[in-house]
Structure 1
């Protein structure tokens, strides 16, 4: 006897479009990863931030191999990750500018080469440890060396290919 609550889904072919459409249903936070190299800030928005291990403390990020920012960022010994707060939604348009203009006019804090967006919900200092080739991306394991969270703020959320606020 079949369970009346069971639903059937029709499997889709695994294409790039199907992957994007399906995983757009998985809500993520929005973060920015950045470092100071030779007196200039390099970095980019990232929504692939994931906790990997508590002991040792590790997180991961994934970078498209087609990225023009990734080759420079990967040479930095220390990075800053900023988890964006709801009030920072407008920053996304600024952070999507070409690499040379990406951080112009953005409030930043720089600490020992790690660059953070000012007033972020959380900041995480990391050191790259391992890069794994993963299809058309590089998956990077990062050792967490310092972190801070402002518990008075709410996160900016990415779902269905657009930003959302938890407080509304």
Structure 2
């Protein structure tokens, strides 16, 4: 049965959030260094976009105060968090704090902070940004990457954290 000229349903934010929370995501901390201090924020919207050229994408909120500072550097390190890094995830999700307080890190090859204990690390440069409602879609070119651990990612599902054991 088809309905012509039917108005699409109005979707409220709460319903959208409830339904989308059924999609499990990994958790990352995206970092950069502005030459004076390390910068970073928690992000769970990371996705591989292309193998040739090697591209990834993520979507910071337009309300983010961290993303504009990271954008200016142009070089990023995407730190894929391991199952035992929930505290790190929470620390980098809070604004107005010293997110790197007590966090061990080294400079990645591109100078961005590579967080100790991460499951994997992806270095990238910002290529494009696209407007997307209350978020920005960032496309970045992967310049280097490696797996550092093999014991399971930190996952976000229905508002809580968990792990996956293969």
The equivalences for 1:122-141 within 5 A come to 122-141=120-139
Which is strand-richer, 1 or 2? 1
CA distance in 2 between counterparts of 1:77 and 1:96 reads 21
Unmatched 5+ stretches in structure 1:
1-10
Alignment counterpart, residue 47 of structure 1, candidates 40, 44, 56: 44
1:21-58 C-alpha deviation (Å, 9 max, x unpaired): 11100000000000000320111000000010011000
Q: Is the 8 A contact 1:69 1:99 kept in 2?
A: no
Q: Distance in 2 between matches of 1:40 and 1:123?
A: 20
1:82 matches 2:107: no
State the alpha-carbon separation in 1 of the partners of residues 42 and 96 from structure 2: 11
Deviation at 1:99, TM superposition (A): 4.4
1:123-163, Cα deviation, whole Å (9 max, x unpaired): 00000000000111110000000000135221111110111
How many residue pairs get aligned? The number is 158
Could you tell me which of 105, 112, 118 is aligned with 2:116? 118
Indicate the SS of the match to 1:86.
coil
